Structure 1
Amino acid sequence: MAKSVFWSKMLTACIMMLLVGAGTMTFAASASAHGYIESPASRAYLCKQGVNTNCGQIQWEPQSVEGPGSFPQSGPPDGQLAGTGRFPELNVQTESRWQKVTIHGGENTFQWYLTAPHATKEWKYYITKKGWNPNKPLSRDELELFCYYPGDGKRPPNTVTHTCNVPTDRSGYHVILGVWEIADTGNAFYQAVDVNLVNNNLAAQKSTPQNTDAPIPSMINWLKSLWPGN
């Protein structure tokens, strides 16, 4: 009987230790989670909402896409820019894999929700170039910087908004990569936003003929008026 009680107590103690360990791990994971782009909704945030499916662990923590900073000189390797090395599901890149958010070229507001604000070095926004291949892993050479905000080493509020001019010289499916560089660590947070970019001016330019010959008849009549006998 004594042995039975002893092993019962040992089993209870082990279970308690496991529960405490699991709680500590959960707290550590939550404490290391920091921020995501909620508008326009990022790839990770749409996973949290269930709009993007089969996302893996990121659906529970869209704020945790953290990787090496100093992008693009450093940072995650090409092919891992959307999910870093922590969330490989986000790195899958095809034309049809992710839901797109429709935005228009020109002035747009990008809004981050920060679960744990950090002293900030800078905010950077990149977009895929004209003619990029949406069926290849996302790489640095397919991105160009279009918006930048300094952080000045300050700790931002939980909600941060930036007004950026999205390029108006391209349309269709593009990926915008938001990078939040941290001042007091060597890391950064990465958020890929899949957009259906609409630029109506491009369609208007293609469909409207250029009437370059319109002034010519008027010029001919003027020249005739100068000729004697006419």
Structure 2
Amino acid sequence: MHKRRKLAALLGAGLAPVLVIGLAPSPASAHGWVTNPASRQEQCARGVVKCGEIKWEPQSVEGPKGLKDCAGGNARFSDLNDDSKGWKVSNVGRTTTFNWRITARHATTTWQYFVDGQKVAEFNDHGQRPPETLSHNVNFGSFTGKHKVLAVWNIADTANAFYACIDVNIG
């Protein structure tokens, strides 16, 4: 009886670390964000603007499709919704190229761009997986001056999208 208890204790002690490692939450897998013109999360990651957790996870601004929210509805990244944080404004032309960095290549339905809540461009990828870097040329139409652009990456195989806000001066 004593040997069985000792064996059970040794097995339990040996398996515990394996179980802890196996059950530990895995880190969030990476996804994507706008790097140029510098999105708010890009500015946080570079230390241009002081931010919270988004500094370490610029690729993780994910939330349900259909939001018009810089943080993708994620309270952890609420700094991105604060218009008074001193975001650097990029001077851009009437037509501007937005560059995305993709770290997890999800099948994609559409990429959408909104200026102050109004959709100005949409690109349909028909379920294709994007490359690691991707660019879209967006025409701002009659918009001029300082505006906030919301870029949205709609994923094909989930109910989620990725969000990035970019502060621009269109001229």
The TM-score bracket by the shorter chain reads 0.7 to 0.9
Larger strand percent:
2
> Could you tell me which residue of structure 2 aligns to residue 18 of structure 1?
20
1:147 and 2:144 aligned: no
TM-score by length of 2: 0.82
Change (3 A) 1:148 1:126: same
Q: Whole-Å Cα distance in 2 between the matches of residues 188 and 118 of structure 1?
A: 10
> Could you tell me which residue of structure 1 aligns to residue 104 of structure 2?
116
Q: Whole-Å Cα distance in 2 between the matches of residues 116 and 82 of structure 1?
A: 20
Contact 1:44 1:90 in 2 (8 A): no
Q: 1:101 aligns with which of 82, 89, 94?
A: 89
Amino acid in the other structure paired with 1:48: A
1:34 and 2:8 aligned: no
**Rg larger for:** 1
1:65 and 2:61 aligned: yes
Q: Which runs of 5+ in 1 are unaligned?
A: 129-142, 200-230
Larger helix percent:
1
TM-score by length of 1: 0.63
Q: Whole-Å Cα distance in 2 between the matches of residues 21 and 159 of structure 1?
A: 33
Higher relative contact order (CA 8 A, sep 6+): 2
- 1:76-225 alignment to 2 at 5 Å? 76=67, 81-86=69-74, 87-94=76-83, 96-128=84-116, 143-172=117-146, 174-195=147-168, 197-199=169-171
SS in 2 for 1:25: coil
Identity over aligned pairs, percent: 36
Q: Which runs of 5+ in 2 are unaligned?
A: none
Change (3 A) 1:8 1:89: farther
> Could you tell me which residue of structure 2 aligns to residue 226 of structure 1?
none
Q: What is the CA deviation profile of residues 16-64 of structure 1, one whole-angstrom value per residue up to 9, with x for unaligned ones?
A: 5434444x522xx12xx211111111111211111121322x2222111
CA RMSD of aligned residues (A): 2.6
Amino acid in the other structure paired with 2:44: C
